[in-house]
Structure 1
């Protein structure tokens, strides 16, 4: 295992974050328009935004990131953290980087008083699920996505 420095994303991280983000979107086969990527990065840097990004740095190079949204919710009295995106560069996998990112968030949960951290992944993402299962078990919820262009069932 390598020791990764986990820290908040900085404006100077933009080029490497974008490269990793591209890898993440490619993995999930999501062709995001450039304006969505640009807006995400703007929100990450905006101190008034609920979106935050932490990065994992090894030997001075960013090798992974976690994009999160801290928000209020109806089931808890404290905020919760949605770990929306987690990605580690291929060459840095299996070295504890993903685990270090989640552990940093777990420590932040305790320090900030979040009620919980939650996330999802594709059912067939077995590599990531092996990591996630070391922290907690999947809760059995099924996700539904409704978009403006989705026609109602008849």
Structure 2
């Protein structure tokens, strides 16, 4: 099983490759410097919870990133699990599930009552993983996007 811990600025070099791989999975062009800048901003602003998965040789093999957002309806905060990625060579070993469980534990530790995520409708592999861990698909709301 991997080691999963909170990422620190010292992990940026390892995370850049994973962030870039995540972006390419979603059909974005490679941009290592853009990924580095994005990560540096997250650490500077302290506006995300970033967990990193490491293999037995301490190589970064996955990450999950959570963003706190206020919830007017609950008068509290929920976290959006915005990003989850496992490097291709480390897939099908339970690392994604371990990252999801670590994200849940972190939310519990911070008294966050709800995690929320979105995934592409054709990402059946991820959906089955989420459902196996107790995530429930929201049938009540649609997501709309507006490019500005």
Describe the superposition over 1:19-57 as per-residue Cα deviations: whole angstroms up to 9, x where unpaired: 1111111111124766753442123323x4222211011
Q: Is the 8 A contact 1:51 1:70 kept in 2?
A: yes
| Cα offset, 1:134, TM superposition | 1.1
Q: Is the 8 A contact 1:66 1:87 kept in 2?
A: yes
1:52 correspondence with 2:46: no
Alignment RMSD: 1.8
Gaps of at least 5 residues in structure 1 are 149-154
Give distance in 2, aligned partners of 1:34 and 1:95. 26
Matches within 5 A, 1:2-17: 3-17=1-15
Gaps of at least 5 residues in structure 2 are none
Give distance in 1, aligned partners of 2:29 and 2:144. 20
Distance verdict in 2 for CA 1:100–1:119, change over 3 Å: same
Distance verdict in 2 for CA 1:34–1:147, change over 3 Å: farther
| TM-score, with length taken from structure 2 | 0.87
Partner of 1:143: 143
Q: Secondary structure at the match of 1:72?
A: strand
Range 9-18 or range 31-40, more displaced: 31-40
Give distance in 2, aligned partners of 1:138 and 1:99. 17
Partner of 1:73: 71
The counterpart of 1:84, out of the listed 66, 82, 85, is 82
Distance verdict in 2 for CA 1:142–1:7, change over 3 Å: same
Give distance in 2, aligned partners of 1:72 and 1:142. 19
The counterpart of 1:110, out of the listed 90, 104, 108, is 108
The counterpart of 2:24, out of the listed 15, 26, 31, is 26
| Cα offset, 1:118, TM superposition | 0.5
Equivalent pairs counted in the alignment come to 145
